[in-house]
Amino acid sequence: MKLATTRSDNGTQAVLDDGVDVRRLPFADVGVALRSGKLASLDVSALPIEPNTHRLRFAPLLPNASKVVCVGHNYAAHIAEMGHEPPKYPTVFSKFSSALVGANDPICLDTAASSWDWEAELAVVVGAPLRRATNAQARAGIAGYSVANDVSARDWQRRTSQWLLGKTFDQTSPIGPWLVSGDEVDDASDLLLTCSVDGVIKQQARTSDLVFKPADLLVYLSHVTELQPGDVVLTGTPGGVGAARTPAEWLLPGQILETSIEGLGSCRNECVADPAAT
């Protein structure tokens, strides 16, 4: 099963792809749908069919997520190439949901920052309340997986010890297009993740290289806070970011950032200057 949040003439509209048709759900977005607790009991065949499937305009998958949790240092090969020891605990930070954009939206590169970088990531979406969860509870509480890019303003990220501001500029982080349930992708255990800029591949890794797996992360986080349906965790990025290249490479207005995960889909976003040059 696949869900998405699409733009409609008067806001947003959650849709469901049952493999044959795309149907309109009676919810404004995927987060509202997950929190309703009514997805499992819906009579999908009774829902209106979306006629213009090829014209779907994707909004951020979870436009009002109350928790967008992010993880750093979580791909084993990248940690090793940086000469670091495997981490004992996940490095956890957050961004505000106002940072999220849809799968084909522009990425707004604020001209107040000078070093915009890419971070392709597997996103895990929570489907049930999780508090001090076991691994089995966490697995059962995953609504599905999606594609995200934790686009980062490295200069702002490094102004102080805390990364938040470099990670949460408005309208910078693509997430979508679809939320794909675990049964369709073997629980995202070994998917190829790719990030390219103007068609040149910059990052490529498999999710099997994640140190802390999706369920591990939900278990850990659930000891701090009760995770709710519609919360999302970006699981970290592999090697190949612009900051680690010699010389460093940064995203520029006009470039196309493409983030893809096998079985989940692709975000394809144009970078634009914000505010736009006049």
Residue 129 or 253 with smaller CB distance to a copy of itself: 129
Instruction: Provide the 8-state DSSP code for 112.
Output: T
Give CA–CA dist 151/174, Å, rounded: 8
Rule CB under 8 A: is residue 85 a binding residue for a copy of itself? Answer: no
Site string (88-107) toward a copy of itself, x via CB under 8 A: xxxxxxx-xxxx--------
67 binds a copy of itself (CB under 8 A): yes
* Site size with a copy of itself, rule: CB under 8 A: 36
Task: Pick the stretch among 28-36, 157-165, 204-212, 255-263 that binds a copy of itself (CB under 8 A).
Answer: 157-165
Of residues 229 through 248, those in contact with a copy of itself by CB under 8 A are none
Cα(160)–Cα(27) distance, integer angstroms? 40
Q: Of the two residues 157 and 260, which places its CB atom closer to a copy of itself in the complex?
A: 157
Whether residue 184 contacts residue 2, with contact meaning beta carbons closer than 8 Å, is answered with yes
DSSP of 203-269: EEEEGGGBSS-HHHHHHHHHTTS-B-TT-EEE----S--GGGSSS-----TT-EEEEEETTTEEEEE
Query: How far is the C-alpha of 199 from the C-alpha of 226, rounded, in Å?
Result: 40
Q: Is 224 exposed, middle or buried (0-12, 13-18, 19+ CB in 10 A)?
A: exposed
Which residues, 171 to 210, sit near a copy of itself by CB under 8 A? none
C-alpha torsion 209→214→218→221, nearest 10: 30
CB of 173 to a copy of itself, least distance (A): 12
Rule CB under 8 A: say whether 223 interacts with a copy of itself.
yes
Residue in this structure with the two tokens 């675990």, named with its chain if needed: 182
Q: Which is nearer to a copy of itself, 172 or 260 (CB)?
A: 172
Among 38, 84, 159, 245, binds a copy of itself (CB under 8 A): 159
Binding flag, residue 161, a copy of itself (CB under 8 A):
yes
Q: In terms of CB distance, is 23 or 35 closer to a copy of itself?
A: 35
Determine the 3-state secondary structure of 106 from DSSP: coil
Binding flag, residue 163, a copy of itself (CB under 8 A): yes
Q: Which residues bind a copy of itself (CB under 8 A)?
A: 64, 66-67, 72, 87-94, 96-99, 110, 112, 132, 156, 159-165, 168-170, 221, 223-226, 275
